[in-house]
Amino acid sequence: MSGNDAEKIKKTEFIDDLIKKLAAEKIQKIRDETNKRVLERIKFDDTLSKFE
């Protein structure tokens, strides 16, 4: 393996790690937003049940 091949592999691994990190952050953001909406819905349902 030449130094050039090693450098390409290193860059590819860096890019793969970066993509994984960004994807994980995006997934966490979606989960947080979903949890927020679920909690809002639970509060709404609880408030609504007080009027029944």
> CA 6 to CA 13: how far, in whole Å?
11
Higher pLDDT, residue 4 or 13: 13
Per-residue tokens: 31: 């989960």
pTM for the model stands at 0.68
Over the stretch 7-51, which tens digit does the pLDDT of each residue have?
A: 999 999 999 999 999 999 999 999 999 999 999 999 999 998 888
User: Could you give the angle at the alpha carbon of 9 between the alpha carbons of 6 and 10, nearest 5°?
Assistant: 85
